[in-house]
C-alpha cells in the first residue's frame, strides 16, 4: 500500500506549499483491514462532531440499505474556507478507498450513484467533493476573483480532501485503507491525470475516463465551433444532422464485420470512404434537408480538424472523427447544436464561461465576438497552468507502482477520443515503446459510446475491478467485458472491450441480428 503523510490544514488550503509525500509504492506486504472493523453505525458514532486533519464534520448520518444501495454512514465535512466533501463508509468495508471525480466546473458533490454506487456496492469507502466552490457545473465565475477556489478546482482539492479522508477512514474502522483508487470521467478524467502527474504517490491506481486533460485546447475548439454554428446558416436541423450521421454509417458501418448501426472500426473509416463535401448543396446555398450548405460544412470542418493555438505545442485539440451516431440525443444535440439553439449547447456554455472568467476576465464579454481565442497569451498561460494536465511524464507515478487505465467512447461529442489517443501515444513516445507503457497503463476505446455513458454502444465496464486486480494481484487488464443495459436492467447487447488499438470485429453467423448482440461473437482485432 502507499504510505501516506497526513497534512494538518489551515484555512489557506490552496497554498502552493501543499504537498503530499509518499515512500515507495506497493511493497508486496499487504496490510489487511482490521477484522474488528466497525459497522456503519459505529463509524458514524466514531466520527460524529469531530474535526479531523483540518476537516470539520457537519453530519454523520446512517443510511439504511435500500436496493441497490447498501447501508452506509454518510459523513459530510468541510475544510475552510469552502471545500466540502462527502465520505461514505459501508457496513461491509473491503479495506480500500475509492475517490470519485467530479464533472464540468464542479460546484456540487456527486451523489451515491453511477461509479460511486458501484464502488460502494463492492465495499469501498467512497469520497467525493465539490472541488472548493458551490455553483453550476457550467459556471466558472468562481475563478474570476477567488484565486483559492481556482487553485482548488485546478489541482489542489483532491490531495487536500484525501489528507483528511484517510484519517477519517482510519478513525472509523481502526485501520488505514489497504489501497486507494481514483476514478473520474470528463473533468473527473482530467482530475485523474492531474493527480497522476502532480501527486504520483496519492493513489495506487487511477481510472481516467474521457479525460478533459487539455483545457486550453478543447475550450478553444469549443469556441471555434460555436462561432461557426452561430454564423448565418451554420445551424443544423435534426434532419440535416440525421443525414450526416446516416451518410457516415452507410459508408463505414460494415467495416467491423456487421451492419448494426455502429461504426466499431473507426480507424478504417477514412475520407476515401466518406467526404462531407459529397453532401454539399448545389452552389453551396441551403436548399433543404437533403444536403448541407457551405456554412454547415464549415461547422463540420471545424469539428473534424485540429484546432491549434499560438503560445505552446499543447494548445491544441485533435478534432473529432465523424462517428455515424452524431444524431444520438446525447451527442451533437446536447453538446454541439443545442437542438437548434447554439447558446443552449454544452460546448457553447463551457467555452462562454471560460472566456468570460479566465480569458477576457469580464462577465459581460461575448464569447462569440471575443476574437482570436489565443489573443491574450498571459491569460491562456494561466488557464493552462491551472487546469491542464498534458504532461506525459508519469515516471514518478510508474516508479511508485501506480497503475493507470484510460477509457474513451468513440461517439463522445463533448471530448474527442482522438485527443485521449494522442495522450496515450505521447506516453509511448515518452517511455520508448508500447511495451514499456503497458507495464503501468492500458487504454480502451468503447465504440459508439457517448460522453462517459450512453449512446448505442456498450457503455458499461467494471474498470475498478480490473484496476484492483492489477494493483492487488499484479494481473494486468487485457480484453474486458462491456454491456449496454435497458431501462429495466436487462442486457441489451454485450461486446468485448478491446485494448487499443484493437476493435471488436464480428465473427459470428452472417445476417443474425441476435448473434450480433452477443460479445461471444466478436474478436478483438487489429485495425
Pair 287, 370 in one domain: yes
What's the rounded Cα separation, in Å, for the pair 35 and 222?
51
User: Would you call 216 helix, strand, or coil by DSSP?
Assistant: helix
Pair 73, 208 in one domain: yes
For position 442, what pLDDT does the model report? 98
- What CATH number has the domain bearing residue 422? 3.40.50.1820
Tell the burial category of 509 from Cβ atoms under 10 Å away from its Cβ (0-12, 13-18, 19+).
exposed
Alpha helix locations (H) across 451-516? 463-473
What's the rounded Cα separation, in Å, for the pair 90 and 233?
55
Q: Which helix (H) or strand (E) holds 419?
A: helix 417-431
Pair 402, 435 in one domain: yes
Pair 110, 134 in one domain: yes
User: Would you call 208 helix, strand, or coil by DSSP?
Assistant: strand
**How far is CA 456 from each of CA 108, 241, 338, 446, rounded to the nearest angstrom?**
29, 16, 20, 11
Pair 269, 205 in one domain: no
In a domain, 198, yes or no: yes
In a domain, 12, yes or no: no
For position 237, what pLDDT does the model report? 97
Of the candidates 361, 386, 411, which is a domain's last residue? 386
pLDDT tens sequence across 273-324: 999 999 999 999 999 999 999 999 999 999 999 999 999 999 999 999 999 9
Pair 382, 413 in one domain: no
Pair 404, 370 in one domain: no
Pair 294, 441 in one domain: no
Pair 78, 150 in one domain: yes
Pair 453, 394 in one domain: yes
Pair 378, 236 in one domain: yes
For position 38, what pLDDT does the model report? 80
Q: Which three cell numbers stand for residue 241?
A: 444532422
Question: Could you tell me how many helices (H) and strands (E) the chain has, helices first?
Answer: 16, 16
Q: Determine how many CB atoms are found less than 10 A away from the CB of residue 479.
A: 16
Alpha helix locations (H) across 174-260? 187-198, 215-230, 238-252
Q: Which three cell numbers stand for residue 50?
A: 469531530
Mean pLDDT by 10 residues, the chain (527 residues): 38 29 34 59 95 97 96 98 98 96 98 97 98 98 98 98 97 96 98 98 98 98 98 97 98 97 97 97 97 98 98 97 98 98 98 98 98 97 98 98 98 98 98 98 98 98 98 97 95 98 97 96 97
What's the rounded Cα separation, in Å, for the pair 201 and 472?
16
Total structural domains within the chain: 2
Backbone angles phi, psi at 44, to 5 degrees: -60, -45
381 within 8 A of 398, measured Cβ to Cβ: no
Of the candidates 352, 386, 420, which is a domain's last residue? 386
In a domain, 182, yes or no: yes
What's the rounded Cα separation, in Å, for the pair 168 and 159?
14
457 contact partners, CB below 8 Å, separation of at least 6: 262, 264, 409, 410, 411, 446, 447, 448, 449, 482, 484, 495
For position 348, what pLDDT does the model report? 98
| DSSP secondary structure letter of residue 73 | E
Of the candidates 386, 412, 446, which is a domain's last residue? 386
For position 26, what pLDDT does the model report? 35
CA nearest to 37, candidates 175, 177, 165, 166: 175
What's the rounded Cα separation, in Å, for the pair 423 and 412?
16
Pair 198, 239 in one domain: no
In a domain, 14, yes or no: no
Residue numbers of the domain that contains 228: 217-386
Amino acid at each position: 500500500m502507499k504510505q501516506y503523510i497526513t497534512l494538518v490544514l489551515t484555512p489557506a488550503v490552496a497554498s502552493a506549499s501543499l504537498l503530499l509525500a509518499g515512500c515507495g509504492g506497493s511493497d508486496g506486504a499487504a496490510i489487511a483491514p482490521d477484522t474488528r472493523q466497525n459497522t456503519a453505525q459505529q463509524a458514524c458514532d466514531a466520527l460524529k462532531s469531530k474535526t479531523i486533519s483540518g476537516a470539520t464534520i457537519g453530519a454523520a448520518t446512517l443510511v439504511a440499505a435500500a436496493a441497490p444501495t447498501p447501508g452506509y454512514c454518510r459523513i459530510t465535512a468541510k475544510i475552510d474556507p469552502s471545500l466540502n466533501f462527502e465520505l461514505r463508509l459501508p457496513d461491509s468495508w473491503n479495506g480500500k478507498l475509492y475517490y470519485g471525480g467530479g464533472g464540468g466546473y464542479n460546484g456540487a458533490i456527486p451523489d451515491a450513484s453511477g461509479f460511486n454506487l458501484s464502488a460502494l456496492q463492492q465495499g469501498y469507502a467512497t469520497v467525493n467533493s465539490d472541488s472548493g466552490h458551490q455553483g453550476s457545473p457550467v459556471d466558472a465565475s468562481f475563478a474570476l476573483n477567488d484565486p483559492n477556489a481556482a487553485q482548488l478546482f485546478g489541482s489542489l482539492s483532491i490531495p487536500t480532501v484525501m489528507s483528511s479522508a484517510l484519517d477519517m477512514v482510519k478513525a472509523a474502522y481502526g485501520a488505514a485503507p489497504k489501497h486507494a483508487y481514483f476514478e473520474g470521467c470528463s473533468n473527473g478524467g482530467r482530475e485523474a491525470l492531474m493527480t497522476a502527474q502532480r501527486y504520483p504517490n496519492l493513489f495506487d491506481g487511477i481510472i481516467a475516463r474521457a479525460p478533459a486533460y487539455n483545457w486550453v485546447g478543447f475550450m478553444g475548439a469549443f469556441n471555434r465551433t460555436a462561432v461557426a454554428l452561430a454564423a448565418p446558416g451554420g445551424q443544423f436541423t435534426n434532419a440535416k444532422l440525421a443525414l450526416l450521421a446516416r451518410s457516415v454509417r452507410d459508408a463505414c458501418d460494415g467495416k467491423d464485420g456487421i451492419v448494426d448501426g455502429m461504426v466499431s472500426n473507426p480507424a478504417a473509416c477514412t475520407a476515401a470512404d466518406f467526404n462531407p463535401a459529397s453532401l454539399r448543396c448545389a452552389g453551396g446555398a441551403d436548399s433543404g434537408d437533403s444536403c448541407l450548405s457551405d456554412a454547415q460544412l464549415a461547422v463540420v470542418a471545424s469539428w473534424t480538424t485540429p484546432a491549434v493555438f499560438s503560445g505552446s505545442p499543447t494548445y491544441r485539440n485533435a478534432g473529432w472523427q465523424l462517428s455515424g451516431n452524431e444524431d444520438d440525443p446525447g451527442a451533437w444535440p446536447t453538446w454541439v447544436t443545442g437542438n437548434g439553439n447554439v447558446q443552449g449547447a454544452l460546448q457553447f456554455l463551457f467555452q462562454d464561461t471560460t472566456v468570460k472568467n479566465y480569458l477576457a476576465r469580464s462577465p459581460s464579454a461575448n464569447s462569440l465576438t471575443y476574437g482570436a481565442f489565443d489573443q491574450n497569451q498571459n491569460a491562456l498561460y494561466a488557464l493552462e497552468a491551472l487546469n491542464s494536465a498534458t504532461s506525459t511524464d508519469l515516471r514518478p507515478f510508474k516508479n511508485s507502482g501506480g497503475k493507470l487505465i484510460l477509457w474513451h467512447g468513440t461517439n463522445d461529442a463533448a471530448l474527442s477520443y482522438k485527443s485521449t489517443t494522442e495522450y496515450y501515444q505521447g506516453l509511448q513516445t515518452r517511455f520508448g515503446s508500447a511495451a514499456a507503457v503497458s507495464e503501468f497503463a492500458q487504454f480502451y476505446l468503447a465504440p459508439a459510446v457517448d460522453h462517459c455513458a450512453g449512446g448505442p454502444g456498450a457503455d458499461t465496464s467494471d474498470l475498478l475491478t480490473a484496476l484492483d486486480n492489477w494493483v492487488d494481484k499484479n494481473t494486468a487488464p487485457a480484453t474486458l467485458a462491456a454491456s449496454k443495459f435497458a431501462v429495466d436492467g436487462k442486457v441489451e447487447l454485450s461486446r468485448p472491450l478491446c485494448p487499443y488499438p484493437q476493435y471488436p470485429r464480428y465473427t459470428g453467423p452472417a445476417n443474425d441480428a441476435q448473434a450480433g448482440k452477443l460479445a461471444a461473437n466478436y474478436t478483438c482485432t487489429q485495425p
